[in-house]
Amino acid sequence: MLQEIKQQIARIKGLGATYVDARWYPFEETQGLFMWNGNLKDNTYSRESGIGTRVLYHGAWGFSASSDLGDLASLFSRAFDNARIAATRVTFPVRLADKEALQAKFASPCKIDPFEVPLADKVSFLKKMDEQLDQKGVEQRISNLDFIRKQIVFVDSEETEIEKRITEVFSRLEVHGKDAQGVTHERKWRVGQQGAGTRGWESIDEELFSQQSSRIVQELNQVLAADDCPKDERSVILLPGIMWLQTHETIGHPLELDRILGYELSFAGGSLVTLNDFGTLRYGSEKLTARADATLPNSPGSFGYDDDGTPCRNNLLIDKGILVGAITGRQMVEEANAKAGRKIFAGSGGCNRATAFYRVPIERMTNINVDPGQDGTLDDIVKGTERGVVLDGERSWSIGSNREQFHFATEIGWLVQDGEIVKVVKNPTYKGDTLRFWNSLSAVGDESTWQVGFVDNCGKGQPNQIMQMGHAVPVCRFDRVTIGE
Partner 1 sequence: MKDSILQTLGQLREHALHTGCQIALFYHEEDSYLMRFANSAISLNTNEHLIRLQVTAHDGKKRASFSLITDLSQIDEMKRGIDTAAEMVKHSQPLTYQPTIPVYGETFVDETGYDPALTQMSNEEKLRYFNEAAKGLETEDLRLSGIFSSGANTVALINTESEHALYFKTSDAQVTVVLADATKKWEVIAEQSAQKRSELDPGRLQQELAFLVKQHVTVVPQQLPLGSYDIIFGPAATAEMLGTMSWIGYNGGLMKRGYSFLSEGEVGKRVFSGKLTLVDDPARLETYPFKVDFMGIPRKRYPIIQDGVFNGFIWSQDEADEFGAEPTGHTVTHESMVVSGGDAAISSLADLVQLPREKDILYIPFLHYMNIVNPSKGIITASSRFGSLLLKKDGSVGIPFNVRLTQSLLDVFGDKVEWLSQESVPYNTSASYGARNPTAWIVPRFIKVNDLEISHSNPSY
Residues 251-270 close enough to bind partner 1 by CB under 8 A: 261-267, 269-270
Binding to partner 1 by residue 456, rule CB under 8 A? no
Distance between CA 483 and CA 403 in Å, rounded?
Answer: 19
Q: Which stretch binds partner 1 (CB under 8 A): 107-115, 376-384, 402-410, 468-476?
A: 402-410
Cis peptide bond prior to 463, omega within 30° of 0: yes
Distance between CA 195 and CA 198 in Å, rounded?
Answer: 9
Q: Pick one of 51, 245, 409, 412: the residue that binds partner 1 (CB under 8 A).
A: 409
Strands 140-156 and 60-66: unpaired
* Cβ proximity to partner 1, 140 vs 295, nearer residue: 140
Binding to partner 1 by residue 81, rule CB under 8 A? yes
From the CB of 341, what's the least distance to partner 1, in Å?
Answer: 15
How many other C-beta atoms are found inside a 10 Å radius of the C-beta of residue 302? Answer: 22
Most distant pair of Cα atoms in the chain: their distance: 72
Binding to partner 1 by residue 398, rule CB under 8 A? yes
From the CB of 153, what's the least distance to partner 1, in Å?
Answer: 17
How many other C-beta atoms are found inside a 10 Å radius of the C-beta of residue 105? Answer: 11
Q: Which residues pair with 236 in a beta bridge?
A: 389, 478
Q: Which stretch binds partner 1 (CB under 8 A): 9-17, 197-205, 306-314, 464-472?
A: 464-472
**If 0-12 CB within 10 Å is exposed, 13-18 middle and 19+ buried, where does residue 180 land?**
exposed
Q: Which residues pair with 19 in a beta bridge?
A: 56
Q: Pick one of 21, 62, 324, 376: the residue that binds partner 1 (CB under 8 A).
A: 62
Q: Of the candidates 168, 357, 331, which has an alpha carbon nearest to the alpha carbon of residue 256?
A: 331
Q: Pick one of 4, 131, 139, 206: the residue that binds partner 1 (CB under 8 A).
A: 139
Half-sphere exposure of 61 (CA within 13 A, CB side): 15
User: Which residues 20-59 are close enough to bind partner 1 by CB under 8 A?
Assistant: 38-50
CB 130 within 8 A of CB 148: no
Q: Pick one of 401, 417, 419, 421: the residue that binds partner 1 (CB under 8 A).
A: 401
Q: Which stretch binds partner 1 (CB under 8 A): 148-156, 210-218, 312-320, 458-466?
A: 458-466
| CA-angle at 251, arms to 277 and 235, nearest 5° | 110
- For 436, the 3-state DSSP assignment is helix
Over the window 359 to 378, marking each residue x when it contacts partner 1 by CB under 8 A and - when it does not, the resulting string is: -x------------------
From the CB of 62, what's the least distance to partner 1, in Å?
Answer: 5
Q: Pick one of 311, 316, 407, 417: the residue that binds partner 1 (CB under 8 A).
A: 407
- For 465, the 3-state DSSP assignment is strand
* Cβ proximity to partner 1, 269 vs 297, nearer residue: 269
From the CB of 144, what's the least distance to partner 1, in Å?
Answer: 14
Strands 290-293 and 476-483: unpaired
Q: What single string gives the DSSP state of each residue in 214-235? A: HHHHHHHHHHHTSEEPP-EEEE
CB 170 within 8 A of CB 146: yes
Q: Which residues pair with 233 in a beta bridge?
A: 482
Q: Which stretch binds partner 1 (CB under 8 A): 117-125, 189-197, 412-420, 470-478?
A: 117-125
Over the window 414 to 453, marking each residue x when it contacts partner 1 by CB under 8 A and - when it does not, the resulting string is: -------------x-x-x----------------------
Q: Which stretch binds partner 1 (CB under 8 A): 10-18, 151-159, 404-412, 437-445?
A: 404-412
From the CB of 287, what's the least distance to partner 1, in Å?
Answer: 25
Q: Pick one of 135, 395, 419, 456: the residue that binds partner 1 (CB under 8 A).
A: 395
Binding to partner 1 by residue 60, rule CB under 8 A? yes
Q: Pick one of 4, 68, 227, 233: the residue that binds partner 1 (CB under 8 A).
A: 68
* Cβ proximity to partner 1, 41 vs 105, nearer residue: 41
Q: Which stretch binds partner 1 (CB under 8 A): 16-24, 205-213, 299-307, 396-404?
A: 396-404
Burial 198-233 (b: 16+ CB within 10 A, else e): bbbbebbeeeebeebbeebbebbbbbbebeebeeee
Q: Where are the beta strands (DSSP E) in 67-160?
A: 103-107, 140-156
* Cβ proximity to partner 1, 28 vs 219, nearer residue: 28
Q: Which residues pair with 281 in a beta bridge?
A: none
Over the window 268 to 287, marking each residue x when it contacts partner 1 by CB under 8 A and - when it does not, the resulting string is: -xx-----------------
CB 409 within 8 A of CB 428: yes
Binding-site residue total for partner 1 (CB under 8 A)? Answer: 79
User: Which residues 144-203 are close enough to bind partner 1 by CB under 8 A?
Assistant: 176, 178, 182-184
- For 429, the 3-state DSSP assignment is strand
Binding to partner 1 by residue 113, rule CB under 8 A? no
* Cβ proximity to partner 1, 412 vs 452, nearer residue: 412
User: Which residues 208-237 are close enough to bind partner 1 by CB under 8 A?
Assistant: none
